Chains A and B, each alone.
Chain A
Amino acid sequence: MITYIDGPEVKITENDGIFVDVEFFHSKEKLTGLEPRRLFPRSGIDRYVALLDGEGNQVAVIRKMENLPEESRNALTKALDEYYMIPKILRFIKMTEKFKIWMWTAETDRGIITFEIRNHIASVKPLYDGRVLIRDANDNRYEIPDYRKLDKKSKAMLMPKL
């Protein structure tokens, strides 16, 4: 059975990078070195966060991060930010193609990056809510939160690939 954490019954503290320690007030149990993982890393990043032990077994699931006390929430967010990296593309700077291999240069929330797209039919997935998920030749992931909100130049570059 899944143990759910609704919020105030635990205290989450930072451990080492992607790990956190969790203290359950009710049972007075303290678990260290748990690894938080989003159950919905694409569709609901702040809901249903699983806590895994060193063996990869699930200890509990946090229903909503916003219900956690601020200190716990910050510790959890920090660990999740360390683990997950899906740069949000803010604009496209350049797209060049040679022999069907595309090099896309984009400005993301983590800086400017040039990545390789081998086959934009398989690598670029537009979703119906306007989001576009991109996977490059090295299996790195990127996301455009809403392609309709991109600037005109970026849109002109992206549209033929959607």
Chain B
Amino acid sequence: MTFMKISSNKPLPEKFSKKYNELFDNEQPLFIVTGDLTLDGAYGESALCFTADCIYAFDDSYPEGYERVMYEDVKEAKVKRMYGNATFDAYLNDGSRKKLIRFTFAAANVADAGADFINGILDGADPAELLDAVEGSFLKQRSFCPKCGRKLPSPDAECINCKGKGRMITKFASYAAPFKKGLIVSMLLSVFTTGMSLIPPYITGYMVDKVLPSREMSMLIRMILILLAVYILQYTVSAFRSYILRITGDKIIIGMKKDIYAKAQYLPMSFYDKTSTGSVINRVNSDTSVIQNFVLRITQDAVVQFFTLVGILIIMICLNWKLTLFSLLPIPLVVIIGRFFGKKIGPRYMRLWRRGSAINTLLTDTIPGIRVIKAFTNEKSAVDKYDAYNDEWLREDNQVAKISSIFPAFMTFLVTCGSLIIWFSGGSFVISGAKGFSTGLLVSFVSYASMFYNPVNFFANFSDTYQNTLASAEKILDILDAEPEHNFGKGNIPDRIKGKIEFKNVNFSFDRSKKVLSNINLTIEQGDIVGIVGTTGSGKSTLINLLMRYYDEYEGDIFIDGKNIKDIDIGYYRNQIGFVQQEPLMFRDTVFNNIAYGSSNPHVEQILAAADIANAHGFISRLPDGYDTLVGERGIGLSGGEKQRLSIARAVMKNPSILIFDEATAAVDSETEHLIQEAIERLIRGRTTLMIAHRLSTLRNANKIVVVDKGEIIECGTPDELMALKGKYYKLIQIQSMGEQLRRKKEEENFE
């Protein structure tokens, strides 16, 4: 029997495969889930073999090495997710629980599919359909690049990681490519100045050997004029080259910054769940500068230094090959020490970057949150924390500074020792009167040798720059190479979206440790006004996040008007949805532009009409600067209710087919709530509307209520149906009507 042909997350371990063959030769398993822990929690092997009527669990702790459970004895199969591990449990008809195998989260999803298969069989579902679903889960599990193991967006997608080894070089070279003209000109000018710099030592030697002994003043003046001309030419060209280089370098960095920012806009929410905004800002601002310096060093300095090195070497060999060999003596040492230094400093730069990033993150957290800090008189603690982070950075920087200071000094020392060798050996040749060796030649040679060690020093120190750049390049590539939001339906724009929404068997978890939504099946008809209720953390907002396509990695399907939302152009799709959030975000701009956000060239009266519908026009017109009022960062200067109405006006401007309100009136008083509610009622006419609300009184217009609890839909129907059901919704209504009465009473008392 070949187990590889059967669906399995990993091949069945050989010892289990043998055992299975020995015992059940005639019975093929339908699929296999291979675990990576033993039942007692140690890393090891375990497996579940699913057949048509029973399941075989393999684990060394079973007396016979395996355990068989017939489906007919099972009431329910479940995957119990714990902390860092999970178990596959069979709840038997006698009420007991049988823990069959244990595994890490690596196998949790396929184990889920196994549990669904058994439960489906128990419910009498079609085994072929169940197996298709299992196959789908295994396929998803296997959607990894065979080369690098990276998860792919779909089973046959191309891995963006494996396109080539010189990825990093190609990537950054592409930013320099548009400016190659400037770089080439600058490079040619560099070669020219390098050539010019090789002339003076030769003239110096000539003067020592020929001009000074001849005692001819005119010859001396001629030589000095030649030198002056060389210097003028060299430094003028050098200044022009620096200008071109600066302009080109700035253009490269701006291009890179624009790209990173643009990429950051299209990254999925899951990226921002794991990466702090401070870290992203750090990458856009600081790391691009590091890359810019490196690109310039590679395209300019490295080229110049290389030509200098080769030019001098040729001249030195022509002058005296023996002396050249002596001057090369310290080179191997310089190279070895350079490599050693690179290994030492690389990790340090990485740590320094992390400390710097932590400081940025702290700043982006605390400066916008300054009101909270003041409200809790936490200024000192904030300052202390910032100091501690900076001290930590300084400690790390000290280490880096130590290594990066000692190293160049040591290298320079070696270089100096090299020139001593030349003085000794060359001096000996001159003193002993060696044939063809003059004082002038020695002077020229020493000049060339000192110039020769500059490029050697440059390439030896290059590892420092290179390591620093690698640390930054990795951070930048982390953004540039991150998978953007998938737009599988790019260009697929339906005539119009009517607004029928269907969730089919949707399961979702932010990570594999806990399911946030389980088995969501929901149909919302066009024009329905649906209230989504449930306790905090029940999964209401996650449901909306999936509908907004903020997260795409869910199981099951979501349809709009019968089309899978993943197959619709994402830009078009999101444009059809008006989303009003609990804490609307205002940009540091005018009230007008905040309403117009996302609309291209709106007419003034469109904005006024939108504000009017949103019950915002009244308060805006009372503002001294009216629609030109500058809204502060995050809407400072406006009340919560005012911001909310601006955000509703923003939604009106979109003229969406579907409207979503996520706790739109949660943080306002009754009067403002009334104003917002009025605005919402005007807006939702004829549109499919989803409203998440804690305050159930705001759902009085809803014709359908969905109750979400612990990630599952537990009740769904008209408000009357759910009241008659006397379930969770009924309980919530009871509790809230009591609370509402109290609140009103209190507000009336306060008013009096």
- Spell out A's residues near B (CB within 8 Å): 16-18, 41, 56, 81-87, 98-101, 103, 108, 110-113, 116, 118-119, 121-122, 126, 128, 137-141, 159-162
Contact = CB atoms under 8 A, between A and B. Distances in A.
B42 A111 contact: yes
B478 interface: yes
Given A112-B43, A126-B354, 4 more contacts: A85-B85, A98-B148, A100-B481, A119-B478
Interface in B557-572: none
Interface in B445-470: none
5 contacts: A111-B44, A126-B354, A137-B151, A140-B84, A140-B105
Contacts of A139: 105, 511-513
B478 A159 contact: no
A160 B351 CA distance: 7
Interface in B29-59: 36-37, 41-44
Q: Is the interface of B mostly helix, strand, loop or mixed?
A: mixed
A121 B478 contact: yes
Interface residues of B, number: 44
Interface string B262-281: 00000000000011000100
B210 interface: no
Contacts of B41: 81-82, 85, 110
Contacts of B477: 100
Given A101-B149, A140-B106, A159 B347 contact: yes
Contact of A100 (B104, B151, B161, B275): B161
B241 interface: no
Contacts of A18: 80, 82
A138 B105 contact: yes
Contacts, number: 97
A113 B84 contact: no
Contacts of B274: 119, 122
Contacts of A100: 148, 161, 474, 477, 481
A41 B83 contact: yes
Given A100-B161, A101-B161, A85 B150 contact: no
Contacts of B354: 121, 126, 162
B114 interface: no
Contacts of B481: 100
A115 B478 CA distance: 20
Contact of B83 (A84, A112, A159): A84
Contacts of A116: 149
Question: Which 7 residue pairs are nearest across A and B when measured between Cβ atoms?
Answer: A111-B43, A85-B84, A160-B347, A139-B511, A85-B85, A138-B106, A99-B148
Contacts of A83: 82-83
A81 B481 CA distance: 40
Nearest to B97: A16
Contacts of A111: 42-44
Contacts of A98: 147-149
B319 interface: no
Contacts of B80: 18
B350 A160 contact: yes
Contacts of A113: 36, 43
A99 B161 contact: yes
Contact of A56 (B150, B513, B710): B710
Contacts of A112: 43
Contacts of A122: 274-275
Contact of B82 (A56, A85, A87): A85
* Residue picked from A16, A17, A81, A101, most chain B C-beta under 10 Å: A101
Interface string B93-115: 00001010000111010000000
Nearest to A116: B149
B132 to A, nearest CB: 25
B475 interface: yes
A108 B42 CA distance: 9
B150 A141 contact: no
Interface in B140-173: 147-151, 161-162, 167
A141 B104 CA distance: 10
Interface in B468-491: 474-475, 477-478, 481
Given A81-B41, A110-B41, A139-B105, A121 B84 contact: no
A116 B275 CA distance: 19
Interface in B513-544: 513
B512 A138 contact: yes
Contacts of A82: 41, 82
A85 to B, nearest CB: 4
B741 to A, nearest CB: 25
B106 A110 contact: no
Nearest to B511: A139
Contacts of B37: 85, 110
Interface string B691-713: 00000000000000000001000
B584 interface: no
A126 B99 CA distance: 35
Contacts of A41: 83
Given A138-B106, A162-B351, A101 B150 contact: yes
